[in-house]
Structure formats: structure tokens, C-alpha cells
Structure 1
């Protein structure tokens, strides 16, 4: 009879072989992807501009790809059909966010709307902003605010005279003040002249830093054993930035509380304060921290994304004079030169709408979607997606996929017009060839406001001004490089010389 030691050894070998075979089968059933490095996985493959690097990897390994970032499985969707599988077919399974240092250290430890786990609290926060800020009624009620702030911007640009202006900075002041008046009941920056404000400059730098830090693939998020070392210094910078934002938001909240009862307040923050004791949802009462977290979401995701997209749109139009001339001809025909553009005009400006769609296609404000996490294992296109897998949708790559778009790198608004290749394609999350706002349950809550603001600002700028480049710079030489972050910033500021083209009285207060 075999000895006990031989039996035990045989059992041990059988267990090891079984586990090896099972693991090999599991690995084979995962989507293809590059071989990971020991310990850190595929993190070195991401490079300095991850949405570019991941797009390059997808061209080699396919539109459904598996990465191993540290100890985390990551599924990448890099085509419209694969994105639809995750964000439509398996949307409910990918409704929550994975743990990440940005949500922990900046977004009040997941108490905001953007990073909150899917569930009753998230539904309550989503309902509040959807009803009180982004509903059709709310958007219409505050239409005059957006138009007034755009008019302020137009006057500021006209008053620049022969000076060259930083268009992105003035756009940011405009979007922050338009949102601030709705959320808080007053302008956050400036005196209403539209000129740059030092506090606005600082705020812009804070928002950009949020987006840069939130876009970093932090090693501590993927190798928990190394989190305490903060090897990239990301967590320390996040904590420092959070203190600055918290001081800004706490001051706003305290001031609003002090003024409650002193008059009528028709703004979101007053509504949020009233909901502290009677939240209209299934999640319970609102806390001060949740209110500040919501304000943080609105002032970051709701401002810089719009101003940056308009900056990209103007840059593309300057680089394409013939397209710009067509936009101005349409505006002059529909609106004329005796008044400024208003929101009701926008539905009649089909070519302008196509320009905005094409801008969102080539320059999506969030090039890599905010990550989601698989609540349970599932199967996509015949591949196994394990429970706990992080999902990244490469929105930037999908919108430049040559399998979906003719000459995908060209700025060609006509593709969205009647008779064009994508005439029926919308950008509101139903057509996965171009999803700048995401799709499914976690689609951007502020999509409707963002679309209105981007379209109104783009129309107003090209209608009211001929925008020249400084120092004789040729349009085709304009720097169009990207600066990577959670949002897609321009690497170089767009400096322009605005020359009024409408009736003079329109530029006066």
C-alpha cells in the first residue's frame, strides 16, 4: 500500500495542477491584452496620455481588451458595439464606481453624485439635481441667466479693443457665473463686466488641478499595499486641494444659511438647505457634507467641461475658415446682425448644431469615461468579465474609429447633416458611435445644460466676432495638442483678437 506521505503528495500535486489548469482556462477566457508586468501589471503601458496609449493597444488586441493594473482587472471598450454591450446590455451590472483616491480625498469620501455608490443615496442626489437644476422647466426658468452672462462675455470681448485675450479663461468665468447664479443666486466672480478676476483665475487653476489629479492612474489605487507610500505624491496633493475647495464651499454654505429667512431665494443651494430636514427621495436627509459635495460636482464637472469644449470648437473653426464662414452665414440669415443669438434660435441653426456635434466627437470633454465596476461576473462577446472588474470606455477612440467614421481625424460637420454618413446619430447616449456624456444609468446628469451652454456660447462668439490669431499666426499652425486629465484640456491656451461684426449697440451695457 502506498505510504501516507505519497498519498498526501499526490493530493497536493493534483490540487496544484487543478488550480493551474483552472487558472489557465480563466485567463484564456478573458479578453485579449498585453502581457502584464510583475506587481504593477500594465500600468507602464498607459504612458503620459492614457487615452492615446489605450487606443493604440486596442488597435493591436481588439476593441474589447483586458488590462491588469496592479491587482485590478480592467476591461476596456474601444468600439461602439462593445461600449453598447457594457453600457446598455450590462448597464445595471456596471452602475457603481470602483474605489479611487480622487473620490476618497477630494469628493468627500464618495458622498458626491459623481462617485457615490449606486443605490438609494445616489438616486436621491440624482433626483434632486435632475428636478431642481437640469429638468426642462428648470432650464427654461433660468434661460435668461445664461443669455445675460453670455451678453456680459460679448461686451467684455468687445471692450478688449486691440488687446489679445485668453478666450478659455473668459469662457470659464462666464460658465461659472451662469451656473453660480442658478445655484447660489449670485455671480461667483467679477463685477458683471466679464473681465478676468484674480479669484476666478485661482478657481480655474483649482478646477484644472482637480481634473489632472483625477485623471492620474494612481499606483495606490491598483496596488493597495503601496497606497500608504503615496509614491506619486497624488494623495497628498489631493488632500491639499480638497482643503482649498472645502474652505471655498464652506464659506458659501455658511453665508447662505445665515441669509435663510431674510428673503425669497430661488436658487439650488436654498433648495438643498431646505431639503436637509426633508429630502425628497428614498435616501433620507441631506447632510452639509453632501451639499458641499454636490456643489463641488457642479462647479467642477459643470463649468470647465463646457468652457473647454467651446474653446476646442472655436479653435477648430479658426483652423477651418470655410466652415466658419458657413456658420456665420447661417447665423446672419437666421438671427441677423441687429441682435444677439438667443436659445430659441439654436434649433434653427442646423449647421451650427453639426459643428457642435463634430466638436464633441473629436474633442470629448471626458476622453476616458469615469470608471465603473462589475457588481457580478458576466460575459461580453464570449469573454469572461470577472466580478470586481473596472470598466473603462475609451470615448475618444470610439469617436475616431475608422470602422465607424470616414476620415475620422478630419473636422467635418457635414457628416451630421441630412445626407451625411451619420445624419441620424445623436450625442445624448443612445448612439454609441459618439458618447461624450457617457450612456446608461451613470450618464452625465448635466448633459442638457452642457449642450445648451456649449451651443449658445459657440454661436454667440462666432456671430458677434471675427476671431483672429495673434502675431500673424496662421490658422493651420494653431497648436491643437491635448493636455491629458480627467477632462480634455488644450495644451496651449487659445489667445484671440476679437473684432466685432454686429451692430455697435449690441456691445454696450
Structure 2
């Protein structure tokens, strides 16, 4: 009771004081609101928006520092609209409007962001040790990706993961060893496509084939395309099902032994051999790495093949030239072999041209994070800034590519005496798998799988437009940038 009496006494005294009248309280709140609004507007008025304005006011303006151009967006939230659907389109348009293709600043709430649509500046960012980290989002934690190769902090643990990937998972010897598995799945796809005498969509079968391939690569488990598996369907559901933010992410049980035929898998066994060293990985670490491989490896391969087949349907002259090359290199008496692919110069050019026009990760999948202050393109970039590379915009820049919106695979056919154009990160005009320390570790495996499967499907069939649906090249940005409307086609067998 004493506490209650003391409290009442304080309020009674306060009510007698002029300073605590309702009118003065209202004025005080109004002044505070106006002051907050003024500060927010002051932050917002800076190029790049509120996050950059807040940093500049806090650190003080340097008279010798150049200001990175960029849109202000809205007070407080900045340019959140740029990250809505088809963010690579929106960011490219904003950079053009602000005349900031080289480097543009914008704000996502309190997060400072820079983005480039220039290959030279992209190289500065991607090859810099300052940008060796990634900003870890809530979704990455919920998927355990913070312990996987893509999001792990730069340091000893991340280098351990990269060593495992380079030595046991994606080295040339292991890619070669998986050739029989790729050939087997290609044969199953061909058999299933042969059963269609009407128009059909290809996406479902491509994604199932890609997932089966990853399950075989990661676990050594073999599943047939023409039969459903509980384990595979569970994984497909986890990857394809849209999720509310509040819904927890269910992890697949890698600990149980699925009831299916087990192949010998030296890559998977090698990972566990490494985990017995002093820098051993925990079970949670291993699950995160394997889950990331399945999650990323499945989607990208299937999406890219669908884009390639769409372009073959739209450009029958290009498809005819690929068929001629296949008949010359492979012939019609046998199926495509892995050794044929290096001789298929035009087919490889087709794959590169599709990667240029339809990169699965148009913003290079994930951003980079500045761990210290640095200078990019002559501009001061403070620690804690998120950096992006708009590879989609770079690959369509008319200053870098002749007729950039046209599908011209011939641009990637090296003339006599010329070096073949590499898409693996050395030339930032087209680096769909990234570059530098954080380049995609599975890029060689993914490219090998895509090229072999496309060669097999084109060797066996002529791909024709559907009677009912035209090919729609509209995009939708999810895990990868895929066709908004699944490709519907007809096929005509070429080999009997």
C-alpha cells in the first residue's frame, strides 16, 4: 500500500505543476514528432536515401569525398521497391535514370547498398578481400545456410568447406566419375519424352531429373524418373512449397537410410573422412552443406535447360545447326557420350548465349558484405555496406555487346587464333556463376550436366512449338530466374 500511496502523491504533485499540463505534454509530443520528421527528411534528402544520409550525418561530411549517386526512395524505408519482383530489371532502370551504371547507392531501410552494372567495377567488388563475406538473412539461418558454403563467414571454417568442395565434391576427377549417372538419367528423360505424342510441359520432369541427379551425387542414392519416391517427393515439396515467414523450415532427415538402391559414392564418403580431422565438421555443418547442394544444384540446372529448350523452339535455324553438329560429331547410330561435348563448339556457344540472356542468378544469387571501409570506383564505401552485381544488366549492355537483345550464339564461337570465351568468372562481361573467392563451387559440375543433357535431348528430338501455347520469355524471380509460364512443346524423334 505504501508504494501505491507514494505513487499517488507523486502524480498529485505533478498535476499541480504547470510543466505537466496536458497542453504542454501535447506540445512536447508535437515538437518531438516534428523533430523526428525533420531528421528523417534530412536523412532521406541525401543521394542514396535514408541509410546513406544517416551514415553521413553520424560520421560527418568529408569535403574531399565523392558522393555515390542513387535514388532517395522514400523516407525511412528507402528504395524497398527496387527489391520487389524482377529486382534486376528495377535496379537496372534506376541506375540508368540516375546515370549511375558504374556504381549506384540506395537504401533498404537502415541498410546501405551499392550495386554496379559495369564489369570493371564488378571485378573490383568480387575480387576484393573486403567483400569476402555475405550478409546473412533470416531465411539463410532458417535453412541452415549460415553454416553452408554460400553464407558461411569468411575465415577458417569457410576455407575448410571450400577445401572439401574442391577436393571431394567438384574436382575434375569426380565430375568425370559421375558421367555414368548423368548418362543414365538422360536416357530416362529420353524414354519419358518419347511417350508424349501431344503437347506437354517440360519443367516437372527436368526438375525431377535434376533432383535425382543431386541425390545420387550427394548420397549415392539412385531413383528412377518413372517411379515416385517418398524421399524425393519430400525434398521436392520442401524446395517448391511457398512459405510464410512465420512457418518453420522443415529439414529433410539425412540421418535415416532411405529404402532404395545405394551406389558407392567416394565424394560423400570423402567428406566424412575430412570431418575426422582436427577442424572436423559437426553433423549440423554437414547437413547444412548437403542441404545447400541439393537446394541450389537442383533448381539452377533445370531452370537453365528449360531456357535453352525454349530458345531452340523459338529459333529453329539455331536448333538445326545444333542438329547438324550433333550428326557430325556423334552420328545417328549411338547416343551422346561425355567425350563428345568438348567437340560441340556451337552447342557450347548456345549455352553461353542463353546464360547471357537468361542468367539463373541475375544479381549473382547473393550479395557481398563489406567487412572494412574501402574504395570502389573511386568512391568511399564504409564497412557494413551490402554490394550487388547486376549481371543481367551487364550482359545486355549495348556498349559491351552488339545487338544485346538478339539471340546470336555465333558471338561465342571463337574464330581461328582467338581464345574461347569463358563464363567461369575470368571475364566479368559474362560471369553468371560469380567470380573471386565466393564464386559458385559447383559451376563446372552444373555446366557439364546442363550441356550433356541438352546435347542428349537435342540429339534424340526435334523440339517444336505447342499448338496451343506460344513460347513466353517472361521471367519470374524465385530461387532462380525462371520462365514465368512453363515451357509447353511437342517433340519429333530424330533417331530410330
TM range (shorter): 0.7 to 0.9
How does 1:15-30 map onto structure 2 within 5 Å?
Answer: 23-25=60-62, 29-30=66-67
Is 1:482 matched up with 2:462?
A: no
* Partners of 1:30 and 1:385 within 8 A in 2: no
Distance 1:54 1:26 in 2: 29
- Match of 1:6? none
> Which whole-Å CA distance do the structure 1 matches of 2:82 and 2:217 have between them?
43
The CA deviation at 1:339 is 1.0
Aligned to 2:370: 374
CA distance in 1, matches of 2:234, 2:463: 26
SS in 2 for 1:496: strand
Alignment partners' CA distance in 2, 1:204 and 1:492? 19
Among 76, 90, 98, the alignment partner of 1:53 is 90
Counterpart in 1 of 2:389?
Answer: 393
Shift, 1:315, TM fit: 0.1
Q: 1:431/1:141 Cα in 2 relative to 1: closer, same or farther (>3 Å)?
A: same
The residue that corresponds to 1:272 in the other structure is 271
The residue aligned with 2:143 is: 106
Cα 1:51–1:335 change in 2 (3 A) is: same
Shift of 1:463: 1.1
CA distance in 1, matches of 2:421, 2:367: 25
Contact 2:312 2:463 in 1 (8 A): no
The CA deviation string for residues 394-420 of structure 1, in whole angstroms up to 9 with x for no partner, is: 111111111101111111101111349
Higher relative contact order (CA 8 A, sep 6+): 1
Shift in CA distance, 398/355, structure 1 to aligned 2, threshold 3 Å: same
Q: Deviations over 1:371-414 (max 9, x none)?
A: 11011111112211111110111111111111101111111101
Q: Paired residue for 2:207?
A: 172
CA distance in 1, matches of 2:241, 2:67: 35
Alignment equivalent of 1:126, drawn from 159, 162, 167: 162
Q: Which residue of 2 is the match for residue 76 of structure 1?
A: 115
CA distance in 1, matches of 2:280, 2:231: 33
Deviation at residue 461 of structure 1 after TM alignment? 1.0
Partner of residue 150, structure 1:
186
Alignment of 1:17-416 (within 5 A): 23-25=60-62, 29-61=66-98, 62-63=100-101, 64-88=103-127, 91-107=128-144, 110-158=146-194, 160-187=195-222, 189=223, 192-194=224-226, 200=232, 203-209=235-241, 233=244, 235-237=245-247, 239=248, 242-243=249-250, 246=251, 248=252, 250=253, 252-255=254-257, 265-278=264-277, 284-369=279-364, 370-416=366-412
SS of corresponding position for 2:434: coil
SS in 1 for 2:462: strand
Distance verdict in 2 for CA 1:23–1:302, change over 3 Å: same
Alpha-carbon distance change, 22 to 124 in structure 1, aligned in 2, over 3 angstroms: closer
Give per-residue Cα distances to partners, 1:316-375, cap 9 Å, x unaligned.
Answer: 111011111101111111101111111110111111010000011111111112111011
Q: CA deviation at 1:124?
A: 0.8
Instruction: After TM superposition, give the deviation of residue 454 of structure 1 in Å.
Output: 0.9
Q: How many residues align?
A: 437
TM-score, normalised by the number of residues in structure 2: 0.82
Write out per-residue CA displacement over residues 65-93 of structure 1, whole angstroms, 9 at most, x where no aligned residue: 011111111110111111012123xx211
Equivalent residue in structure 2 for 1:497, among 480, 490, 493: 490
Aligned partner of residue 73 in structure 1, secondary structure: strand
Distance 1:490 1:26 in 2: 48
CA contact (8 A) 1:306 1:454 kept: yes
Partner of 1:452: 448
Secondary structure (helix, strand or coil) at the match of 2:255 reads helix
- Please give the alpha-carbon distance, in whole angstroms, between the structure 1 residues aligned to 2:421 and 2:372: 32
Q: RMSD of the TM alignment (CA)? A: 2.6
Distance 2:121 2:273 in 1: 43
What SS class does the counterpart of residue 303 from structure 1 fall into? Answer: helix
Who wins on radius of gyration, i.e. which is larger?
Answer: 2
- Per-residue CA deviation, residues 265-312 of structure 1 (Å, 9 max, x unaligned), is 434433334444336xxxx11111111111111111111101110100
- 3-state secondary structure, aligned to 1:277: coil
Distance in 2 between residues matched to 1:196 and 1:501, nearest whole Å: 29
- Where 1:255 maps in the other structure, the secondary structure is coil
Gaps of 5+ in 1: 1-18, 214-232, 504-509
Structure 2 vs 1, CA of residues 71 and 27 (structure 1 numbering), >3 Å: closer, same or farther? farther
Contact 1:331–1:349 (Cα < 8 Å) also in 2: yes
Distance 1:20-1:112 versus aligned 2 partners, 3 A rule = closer
2:439 corresponds in structure 1 to 443
Per-residue deviation, residues 125-184 of structure 1 (Å, max 9, x unmatched): 1111211110011111221111111111111111x2414333121111222222222221
